[in-house]
Structure 1
Amino acid sequence: MTNGDDTLPVRTVGGFDRSGRRWVTGMFAVGGAALGALLPLLARWAAELPWVPFQGPLRLLGSFDQTWLTWGRPVLGLVAGLALAAWVVFDSPVLDVGPDRIQVRRRGEVERVVERAKVAAVHPRGSKLRIETESGRTLFEGDVEGDKAQIRRAFVDHGYPWEGPAD
C-alpha cells in the first residue's frame, strides 16, 4: 500500500504530546518526592542487611532526621524528578517523514538526515523504531513516542518499506 506521491506533506511523528509531557512530568515528580521522603527509612533498612555494601554511608543517610530535612528531602527529590522528566521529554526523538528524506530531531535541532534512497526497511523492534539499509546497516534506532499506527502511516503514505504489523 505504498503511495509514492511526492505531493504529500512532511509528517511529524514522535515526541510527547501535551498529555504525555504532563504524565511523564507528574510521574517523575511524584517518584522523586516519594524517594526523597522514604530515603532515610530505606537507608536504615538496607544498612541492617549484612550483604549490602556501603554500610557506613547508609547508616549516615538513615541518621539524617533534622526538622528541615523532613520537608527538604521530598523537595529535593521533587526537583530531581522534574529535572529527569525534562531530560526524558526533550531528548525524545521527533521524526519529520517526507517523500525524499527523514529528519531526526532532538532538543529542537536536526541530529540526522536519512535519505530515502538509502532506506531499505523501516520496522518496529520492541519499543524502538529501526531504519535499515539494504545491507542491514542501522541508519536510525530509537524510541519514538506516540501512536504506533500514526507512525506506521507516516512511513507507508510516503512509500517507505514498512516491515512491521499493520494497523
Structure 2
Amino acid sequence: MLGELRNETVVSYPAWAWGLVWAGFPLAGAGIGWLLKAVAGWIAELPWAPLKGVFEAVDKLDEPLATIGALAIGGLAGLVFAFLAAAEALTVTVSSGQAVLARAGKSRAVPRASVQVVFLDGKHLVLLGQAGEELAREPSDLEANRVREAFRQYGYPWRDGGDPYRDEYRRWVPETPELPSGADALLKARAKAIGKGDSSDAADLRAELVKLGVVVRDEKKRQYVRVVR
C-alpha cells in the first residue's frame, strides 16, 4: 500500500496481501491438519515412519472430535504464522526530512541530509551515507516501483543500477589485511552465525562492523567486504 499522510508517504503491503495472510495461513493450516489426520493411520503403519507413536494415537481418536481437533490445531498454527509474518513485514515511511524503516515494533530513522544514495540490492533496501557508509539495509518484499516512487517523490537520490560501490567488495577470508582492528574477529563470529542460520546474530555483528567502517554483503553464505575510506 502506498499512502500519503501529513506530507509523508507510507509504503507497506496492500490490503489484499494481508487478506491472503490472515485468511490464507489459517485455512492452509487447517487443511494440513485435516490431511495429517486423514493419513495418520497409513503413516503409522510404515515401519520407518517418524513420530510413529503420535500418528498411532491420532488414528485412534474418536470422530468427529479428531477431525475437529485437527482443523482447530492446524488453523491455530496458521494463525501463529500469520502473526509472525505481520511482525516481520517492513514498512517504509518517507518524508522530506527523513526515512523511517519499521519492522517488528522497531524502527530506524535516517535523516535525508545524511543519505548519499538509495537502492535495492536484490531483496534488500539499502541507504548509504555521504562517505559510502551503510546507514540501513533491510530485507524487503515491497513492490520495487512503489518504494522507488516514494523516495524519488521527496528528492532522495535513488539509484536503479544497484550498489555504486559493488566493484570495491572483496571476499573476506580470515586475516584479511587492511581491515580495521577488531573487524576480522567480528567477521569470524559472523561467519559462524551465518553457518548456524542465526540471522539475528549476523545482523547484530553487521551493525558492529558498520561502526568500524566495514560494509558487508552476503552471497551464498560468503562474506564480501569493503572499507569506507
* Shared fold per TM-score greater than 0.5: yes
Which among 121, 126, 136 is matched to residue 139 of structure 1? 136
In structure 1, what is the equivalent of residue 219 of structure 2? none
What residue identity is the alignment partner of 1:9? Answer: N
In structure 1, what is the equivalent of residue 226 of structure 2? none
Q: How many residues align?
A: 150
Q: Confirm or deny that 1:22 pairs with 2:23.
A: no
* CA apart distance, 1:46: 8.9
* Structure 1 SS opposite 2:93: strand
* CA apart distance, 1:130: 2.1
* CA apart distance, 1:29: 1.4
What residue identity is the alignment partner of 1:32? Answer: G
Q: Distance in 2 between matches of 1:38 and 1:106?
A: 34
What residue identity is the alignment partner of 1:117? Answer: A
* Structure 1 SS opposite 2:96: coil
Which among 137, 147, 151 is matched to residue 151 of structure 1? 147
Alignment of 1:36-47 (within 5 A): 36-40=33-37, 41=39, 45=43
Deviation string for 1:2-54 (max 9, x for gaps)? xxxxxx9211112x33211111122211221122122343795498474x7xx
In structure 1, what is the equivalent of residue 9 of structure 2? 11
TM-score w.r.t. the length of structure 2 is: 0.56
In structure 1, what is the equivalent of residue 225 of structure 2? none
Alignment of 1:31-110 (within 5 A): 31-40=28-37, 41=39, 45=43, 48=46, 50=48, 55=50, 58-63=51-56, 64-65=58-59, 66=61, 67=63, 68-106=65-103
Unaligned runs of 5+ in 2: 1-5, 162-229
* Structure 1 SS opposite 2:101: strand
In structure 2, what is the equivalent of residue 118 of structure 1? 114
With over 3 angstroms needed to count, the CA separation of the structure-2 counterparts of 1:121 and 1:36, relative to structure 1, is same
With over 3 angstroms needed to count, the CA separation of the structure-2 counterparts of 1:78 and 1:117, relative to structure 1, is same
Q: Distance in 2 between matches of 1:136 and 1:30?
A: 44
Runs of 4+ in 1 over 3 A off after TM superposition: 42-50
Deviation string for 1:77-126 (max 9, x for gaps)? 1112122213312431211101121112335x561111123322221223
Deviation string for 1:122-155 (max 9, x for gaps)? 212233322223434251312153x422211111
Unaligned runs of 5+ in 1: 1-7
What residue identity is the alignment partner of 1:62? Answer: F
TM-score w.r.t. the length of structure 1 is: 0.74
* Structure 2 SS opposite 1:120: strand
How well do the aligned residues superpose, as a CA RMSD in angstroms? 2.8
With over 3 angstroms needed to count, the CA separation of the structure-2 counterparts of 1:115 and 1:44, relative to structure 1, is farther
Asked which structure has the greater RCO (Cα within 8 Å, sep 6+), the reply is 1
* Structure 2 SS opposite 1:112: strand
Q: Distance in 2 between matches of 1:126 and 1:12?
A: 21
